[in-house]
Amino acid sequence: MKNFKLSNSEFVNLTLASIFPFLILGPFFPDLIVSASSLFFLYYVFKSKSFFYFNNKPLIIFFVFCIYCILLSLFISKNIFLSFQSSLFYFRIGVFSCFIWYLVDKDKSILNYFYYCLFLCFLVLIIDGYVQYFTGQNLLGFKKAYEGRISSFFGDELIMGSYLARLFPLFFALFAIKQKHKYEIYFIGLLFILIEVLIFMSGERTSFFFMNLSTIFMIFLIKNYKILRISTFIISIICIIVLSLNSQDLTQRMIKNPIKDMGFSKESKKMNIFTQQHESLLITAHKMFKDKPLFGHGPKMFREICKDKRYATGITPCMSHPHNFYVQLLAETGIIGFLFLFCALIYVIYMSVRQIKSIIFNQKRILTDYQVCLLAAIFVTVWPLSPNGNFFNNWLMIIYSLPIGLYLQSVYGKNK
């Protein structure tokens, strides 16, 4: 141990990789890492005049969006200080993505750090999650959350499935480029099955949908490991069917309740958008948007404005956010802010179509499997037709900044 030393590069790589376990423990330390890294990188960029990291269309559009949100907080929002909590330092996410790009350009070994750290996090969550499901409590003694839902080390926050589903495409991307032995492929295949089944067992319907969405996206567009992912996906579905037949709670939560909530069952009186609760939030946000369609009411203002009787509609019209990124941006930032996220969706669709077209007509691929998996992670984030969290949430921001940084490096980096 006396002879064990870390170089500066290894220390930075290890620190950045530690963001994955810290995301399990809460948003404080990941946000601290992101903020400190962003400040360091800004200092480096200005000192070395390496402005080319920011001189590309995606980053320029992102920083324009950040400035726009700050101006909204300053001139549109009724509660400037509350609004600034979301908008003032939002730019650090783009800077952090560029920092990831810079580190990969400098030393690709950070990808191995990311892979192994993410692998260990997934493995620990799998063991702990299954223990909690079958025994009623996890390895630390945390009992199941309400309604018998499992959350592992996340405790009362039911986001274990979200963590696994959102980071799975990133893990697949790192797996695709890693040098590995044959036995490792079989082991990772087993890991894929356990992850997918665990997400279903968590009862997080949106996360389970995201897992399947990214899987289908990757199966259609990747070249290598296609058979591996198809076979593990089929086995996962079979396991889930068997599990559902033997668990009335899971069947009720994951199948019967969604059918009933959306109005497809015989006893339903009307159809709903996801659920009655979600529909009331969406209608409230829509009314807010119609009142100020161009600029909205300001970042983080939904939680304040939704209390107004002019907008409040339905059984649960008011929460911290309307549970949909696009509707939230329409209500809080208007059409202009909405276009930022919509452009990201159009880009992912455009690149996917180009990939399919190139495969069919040219028998080649314009995107590597690594890039396809990273795009799948971004696609899950920008998918419009599902409930999701707060667009300005720190925990979510950090998760989607990682694949964006790696994708930018793969397109614009010195060492692609």
**Tell me, what's the pLDDT at 100?**
94
**Axis-axis angle for helices 182-202, 226-245 (nearest 10):** 40
Task: Report CA 45 to chain centroid distance, whole Å.
Answer: 27
The answer to the question of residue 299 being in a domain is no
For residue 252, give the DSSP letter: I
State the residue range of the domain holding 27.
8-49+91-265+367-412
Report the C-alpha gap between 286 and 293 in whole angstroms: 9
Helix 325-362 / helix 369-382 crossing angle, nearest 10 deg: 150
For residue 74, the Cα-to-chain-centroid distance in whole angstroms is: 28
- CA torsion angle for 23, 337, 52, 43 (degrees, to 10)? -50
Give the pLDDT confidence score for residue 7 in this predicted structure.
Answer: 58
Judged by DSSP in three states, 143 sits in strand
Does residue 2 form part of some domain? no
Is residue 23 situated within a structural domain?
Answer: yes
pLDDT tens, per residue, the chain with 416 residues: 344 344 567 778 888 888 999 899 888 888 999 999 999 999 999 998 888 899 899 999 999 999 999 999 999 999 999 999 999 999 999 999 999 999 999 888 899 999 999 999 999 999 999 999 999 999 998 888 877 789 999 988 889 999 999 999 999 999 999 988 888 899 999 999 999 999 999 999 999 999 999 999 999 999 999 999 999 999 999 999 999 998 888 888 888 888 877 777 666 667 777 778 889 999 999 999 999 999 999 999 999 999 999 999 888 889 999 999 999 999 999 999 999 999 999 999 999 999 999 999 888 889 999 999 999 999 999 999 999 989 999 899 899 999 999 999 999 986 65
- Determine, yes or no, domain membership for 403: yes
Residue 359 lies in a domain: no
- For the chain, the domain total comes to 1
Whether 219 maps to a domain, the answer reads: yes
Rg (CA), the chain: 22
Cα–Cα distances in angstroms (integers) from residue 105 to residues 12, 47, 98, 388, in the given order: 14, 18, 10, 33
Q: How far is CA 218 from the centre of its chain?
A: 16
Q: How far apart are CA 189 and CA 192, in angstroms?
A: 5
The answer to whether residues 222 and 376 touch, using CB atoms and an 8 Å cutoff, is: no
pLDDT at 1 (0 to 100): 35
Please report whether residue 239 resides in a domain.
yes
Paired tokens of 20: 């994955």
Measured CA to CA, the distance from residue 275 to residue 261 in angstroms comes to 5
To which residue do tokens 């992850």 refer?
Answer: 195
